[in-house]
Amino acid sequence: MIAWGIAVLLIIGVVIGVRTFMRRQEAQRKAHDARLAAMAQTYLAAAKKKAAAEAAAKAAAAATPAPSQPTEPSPAAVREERECPFCAEPILKKARICKHCGREVQPLA
């Protein structure tokens, strides 16, 4: 008689445990699906924004006339270089260490 009562209690406990596990699993699945949907919406919004920016850039490029001659770089854009006294590779005039051989060099004014 006591054995039957224990068996019934064990079965009830197992059923309750399984139902609790299934509910928790379903809640986790719903939360995961909600996160995926939010990520997809963010990705789609970014893709639409990028496409709109590209279309605007193409429209702006089509509206501006092409230059007749290629423009030369400004004097500020030209790098002032010199040769490293140790390895003879080009480095910046203001460099303190050669990027090729790693030795210290005196920077030029």
**Residue 98: Cβ-neighbour burial (10 angstroms; 0-12, 13-18, 19+):** buried
Closest CA to 103 of 83, 86, 81, 79: 86
pLDDT tens series, the chain, 109 aa: 788 989 999 999 999 999 999 999 999 999 999 999 999 999 999 999 999 999 999 888 887 766 666 666 666 567 889 999 999 999 999 999 999 999 999 988 7
What's the whole-model pTM score?
0.43
